[in-house]
Structure 1
Amino acid sequence: MLTAAPRFDGVNKIAVLRPNALGDYIVTVPALEALRAAYPQAEIVLLGKAWHRDFLSGRPGPVDRVEVVPPTPGVGAPEDSVPDTAAQRDFFERMRAERFDLAVQVYGGGRYSNPFTLALGARHTVGSRTPDALPLEVNVPYPFYRHEVLRGLEVAAAAGAAPVVLEPRVAVINSDLEEAARVVAPGKWVVLHPGASDPRRRWPPEKFARVGDALAERGLQVAVTGTGSERPAVEAVVAAMRAPALNLCDRLSLGGLTGLLSRSALVISNDTGPRHLAGAVGTPTVGIYWCGNVINAAPVTAARHAVLFSWQLYCPVCGTDTTRSRCEHDVSFVADVRVEDVLEEAFALLERSGQDAHPIGGPGSSR
């Protein structure tokens, strides 16, 4: 277990910088829980995105409030993006007026995020740092290949907060379940999620379809989830299946997805936010990963989660060693994961849980 540094005195307000995606937030939850336990009287303010504000509002957890970070190159926006200087100026004026006692940076190695953190004007600053980044008051080394849960916990420990949980947890609220029940009829559901922000992390749709058909043969109902750019993958899975499947692309908010995942028997997904969310609400998962991402983002326990991964290191098109540089090709790096292996893990998880999916809705729920 990590040994925490001495706590800072007089901490009544903490800013935590983490303005990125769903999975990134979830792997940071254990660090947030550590900060909450170490500084129970403090207000914890997440500096995040609009989706954090909407999703976390009214949801029990370690975050008290969300402040939305304006478009800033390298901090919640691409490094080559055009900054909104007026919005940035207003944001930093408001943040300095907050008089944070502690600012915690858990957003990368600090090249862009450490100057951002220092500009908040907090009494104390703690965070990750690569050699080329500005130093904070307390700095934690940032090797690229390190599990993100442990990375966040190490930063929290440097801020005086000892670990209290290892597995992320996200609370499910009534509105999540109500929305899911309005969209998805009662039944024993398995969720397939064939999308991912990085196309190289996507398992082929035809393999998801074969898995879906095998699960349908076991009497389970299959739903396929996704949003926006993931629609072609979702539609390809549904079209390739022999059994009927429910296309849920863009039909649920993030809260509704939370409700669906929490009441499902199993989730089979690429390495992406919904897999992390499913694990955080207590649902068994089979995750399909590239080997490098296993190091950074695989489940930290195995009783309810299985990981299948590919050792593909070189681009299948041009042969580039992608552990050293990124080529321009977006082909799948996980296509060699076998359907048979995914099904073996899925059946084992279902057997351990008694194949007992919770009903998602009541009479009147509709597809």
Structure 2
Amino acid sequence: MDVRLCPGMGPVLEKFRDVQRIAVLRGGGLGDLIYTYPALNALKTAYPQATVTLLGTPVHAAVATATDGPVDDVELLPVARGVHDGPRNGERFDDDAEDVAAEEAFFKAMQARKFDLALQMHGGGRFSNPFLLRLGARHTAGTRTKDAEPLERNLDYIYYQNEPERWLEVAGLAGAPAVVAPPLFPKPEHQRNIVGLRDPQRSSLVVVHPGATDPRRRWPASYFAEAAAGLAADGAQVLIVGDRSEKALAQEVAELAVRALPAASRQAVTSVAGELDIGDLAALLAEASVMLASDSGPRHLAQALGTPTVGIFWVGNAINAGPRGRSMHRVHMSWLTRCPRCGADITQVGWTAPHCGHDDTLIRGIAVADVVQDVLDLTATSLLLRGK
């Protein structure tokens, strides 16, 4: 077998022959999808004649439809334990949520597509590897913990690893070396939809996302508001984004920021949370000078679109999800290793580690002034790159 080494990554094994149809398994949310895009671009380059089908979730389908990228089509996953969670009973997966008939129909349809190659890019494989094998693909590759069923080609799953690089290593198992991929590009109709949001009287556009799926990853609303007010006072337009569940949080940030501003600048900070679909959000982020956010899906989307970002991270999340470069992206990081309320060790994370039950933010101590300065520095870089 031909084996090459990709600098900074793992081995690039020999390509599989006669690959026309590739399936990639990836559940989860927006950020989970964006982690895989470097690997998907690598696969598309290595197998230019093949179609790449993402086995994903509704938000993944929305992103693929709204942007030009490496995904040719999306098949929605059925509810399946450890792959695509359904309704939950508290913190415990509800076994009754699994629809056996829907799973059987899904696998029957996928087997009929006769995939040549299926890649598992969803965790350590305890649940996702058996799921992938049921597709009936000729070849398989992916990550694997010691207790997971093996695939044809396997990468040991260690929790603390940069996620995009992890999936690039999996692509390498399939013979696809890392490539410099172009940024995502929003479809024209979404670019048209956001034209009216831009205030041409303001010197720059900063998009702020104060939310995160895990409350512990959220910078406090008052900190975001102070930053938004400081940026607006410096001449920026600040638009606060989020999904429908984050409308109240976004509105709180906007109202706190507006109170801190003189009357002449109060129109510079507004919330559009809950008003944009994923394609419009992508178009807005592509237009932004800089994005300021906690570790969240929209921040990862902004990075994939080529927009500079300032991210607020807990140290463990920075290892797994933080951007590598610093010319276009800045990371502010909390080094807490224990729960602020009960003192429980919070570094033991992953698929099986228990949650102490407290959702206190882990990133309260990051100074607003330092964050604002990084946004201003990247704004100057962004405007220079765009010729403004």
Q: TM-score, normalised by structure 1?
A: 0.93
Equivalent AA in structure 1 for residue 340 of structure 2 = P
Aligned to 1:179: 193
2:52 equivalent in structure 1: 44
Correspondence for 1:364: none
Q: RMSD between aligned alpha carbons? A: 1.8
- Find the aligned partners of 1:194 and 1:224 in 2 and give their Cα distance: 8
Corresponding residue number in structure 2 for 1:74: 82
* Deviations 1:185-204, CA, capped at 9 Å, x for gaps: 44532111100000000000
* Distance (Å, rounded) in 2 between the aligned partners of 1:47 and 1:354: 38
Q: 2:340 aligns with which of 311, 316, 324?
A: 316
Q: Name the CA distance, whole Å, in 2 between partners of 1:345 and 1:184.
A: 22
Moved more, 48-57 or 208-217: 48-57
CA-to-aligned-CA distance 1:115-167 (integer Å, 9 cap, x gap): 000000001110000011111111100000000011000000001111112x7
User: What is the CA-CA distance between 1:80 and the residue it aligns to?
Assistant: 1.8
TM-score (norm 2): 0.88
Q: Any idea what SS the aligned residue of 1:155 has?
A: helix
Correspondence 1:149-164 to 2 at 5 A: 149-164=164-179
1:239 equivalent in structure 2: 255
Asked if 2 retains the 8 angstrom alpha-carbon contact of 1:191 and 1:268, the reply is yes
CA 1:69–1:133 in 2, change beyond 3 Å: closer, same or farther? same
**Which aligned pairs between 1:107-122 and structure 2 lie closer than 5 A?**
107-122=122-137
Other-structure match for 1:363: none
Aligned amino acid, residue 273 of structure 2: C
The equivalent of 2:286 in structure 1 is 262
Partner-residue secondary structure (3-state), 2:179: coil
Count of residues in correspondence between the two structures: 358
Deviation at 1:355, TM superposition (A): 7.2
Structure 1 residues not aligned, in runs of 5+: 360-367
Show the 5 A alignment for 1:1-367.
Answer: 1=7, 2=9, 3-57=11-65, 59-77=67-85, 80-81=93-94, 82-165=97-180, 169-186=183-200, 187=202, 188-241=204-257, 242-243=260-261, 244=266, 245-324=269-348, 325-354=354-383
CA distance in 2, matches of 1:157, 1:238: 45
Give the distance between the partners of 1:321 and 1:75, measured in 2 at CA.
Answer: 27
Q: SS in structure 2 opposite 1:77?
A: coil
- Report Cα offsets for 1:81-137 as digits up to 9, x if no partner: 320111111000000111111100000000110000000000111000001111111
1:179–1:252 CA contact under 8 A, matched in 2:
no
In the TM superposition, residue 229 of structure 1 has moved relative to its aligned partner by: 2.5
1:233 to partner: Cα distance: 1.8
C-alpha distance in 1 between matches for 2:357 and 2:206 = 34
Q: 1:206 to 1:58 in 2, by over 3 A?
A: closer
1:238·1:247 contact (CA, 8 Å) conserved in 2? yes
Distance in structure 1 (CA, Å) of the matches to 2:217 and 2:384: 28
Unmatched 5+ residue regions in structure 2? 1-6, 87-91, 349-353
Residue 231 (structure 1) shift = 2.2
Question: 2-side partners of 1:56 and 1:182: how far apart?
Answer: 24
**Which one scores higher on RCO, CA 8 angstroms, separation ≥ 6?**
1
- 2:67–2:279 contact (8 Å) kept in structure 1: no
Do the aligned residues in 1 keep the contact of 2:15 with 2:176 (CA within 8 Å)? Answer: yes
Aligned 8 A contact 1:299 1:305 in 2:
yes
**Identical residues among aligned pairs (%):** 43
Asked if the contact 2:198/2:205 (under 8 Å) is kept, the reply is: no
Q: CA deviation at 1:59?
A: 3.4
Deviations 1:283-314 (A, max 9, x none): 11100000000100001211111000100111
Counterparts in 2 of 1:49 and 1:72: CA distance versus 1, 3 Å: same
The CA distance in 1 between the partners of 2:382 and 2:42, in whole Å, is 30
Q: In structure 2, what is the Cα distance between the partners aligned to 1:59 and 1:340? A: 35
Does the C-alpha gap of structure 1 residues 58 and 213 become closer, same or farther in structure 2, counting only changes over 3 Å?
closer
